[in-house]
Amino acid sequence: MSALLAASCLLGSLLQGLSPSTAEDVVATVLLDAGAEPRRALRLVHRPGWAQRARLSVASEVDTVSGAGPEGELRTEYGPEVVVPLRLSLPVTGAVDDSARYRLGPGRLVPPDPWAIPGEARYRLRVGRPEVRAVDEDGMEAALALAEALGALSGRDGEAVLSGTGALVEAWLDLRGGVSSQLVSQVRAALSSHWLATPPFPEEPVGPGARWTVARAHEPGSLSVITYELLELRGFRGRVRFEFQARTPGGSREPVAEGELRFDLRRPLPERLEVVFTSRTPRGRGGSVVRRTRVTLEAGGLQPLSRRVRVAVPP
């Protein structure tokens, strides 16, 4: 197994060819089809005092084709699987939309309903210790090197701001001390790639079968477009299918990502997300190199945040 293939698993699926979002990006959401009746606006229900745990797994493979026709040779290499535990929590003071609060006492702001804060909410993010699993014995050395590099993320804290429509407003992770510059740039790009939260919903009411696109114009001259289709909607839960295309100034649309996502409007993270990123590079004499990276995110239910209780100890 090549070292390059092992390095591509370093959250590569969130980074390969994807332009990270910046404050200067132009973002447009367009509703293509409102879907079947009954329709309703999809909005997140932010719950202060609760947390959600998830496991993000990344695995990659590379197909190398040499030559064309029946004499062509196909070689497939599999990279190690990276599993990153995540925890997203919303403290009682996590709401950032002041219009959703009222005053109780001098200068004190509290949410009117602790179970449903509209607008934006600021979540706390904690990264657990990443695990790296080799596919076979030949990949043990590369897996150990990758595990050592990713170990610097263990225990890191950050924040993520989610809007009421599910859009990722901003996210950051404290990467001071002990983190390489390469890992810092990759993590920053991953946090701004808008893949780890519920899908950004349109403002308009929608029903099953609805379709909408979210387009981002990056500099210089690149464009990323995600098309969503609402397959199911029952109460707070639903399922969407999506496709991602990145267009560069030269007209290329690689890589392409396709996947499905199950969401619960009462939770910040998807119940399950599965997406496959694919990029293809031509090679001489009819050959090609195809890279696929599979990302899976599985999240549990909400858990109440632990509260410390002070107990008086007799002298």
Dump pLDDT digits (tens) for 22-49.
545 667 889 999 999 999 999 998 888 8
What confidence tens digit (pLDDT) does each residue in 258-303 have? 999 999 998 999 999 999 988 888 877 778 888 898 999 999 999 9
pLDDT by 10s per residue, the chain, length 315: 444 344 444 444 344 434 445 545 667 889 999 999 999 999 998 888 899 999 999 898 988 888 766 667 888 888 889 999 999 999 876 554 444 333 333 343 334 444 456 678 999 999 999 999 888 777 788 788 888 888 889 999 999 888 889 888 888 889 888 888 878 877 877 776 656 567 889 999 999 999 999 888 766 667 888 899 999 999 999 999 999 887 766 666 656 889 999 999 989 999 999 999 888 888 777 788 888 989 999 999 999 986 554 445 544
Domain boundaries, the chain: 3-304
DSSP the chain: --HHHHHTTTTGGGTTTPPPP-TT-EEEEEEEE--SSS-B-----B-TTEEEEEEEEEEEEEEEEESSGGG-EEEEEEPPEEEEEEEEEE-TT-B--GGG-EE-STT-EE-S-TT-B-S-EEEEEEE---EEE-SSGGGHHHHHHHHHHHGGGTT-EEEEEE-TTS-EEEEEE---SS--HHHHHHHHHHHTSS-SSSPPPPSS-B-TT-EEEEEEEETTTEEEEEEEEEEEEETTEEEEEEEEEEE-TT----SEEEEEEEEETTSSS-SEEEEEEEEEEEETTTEEEEEEEEEEEEEEEEEEPP-----PPP-
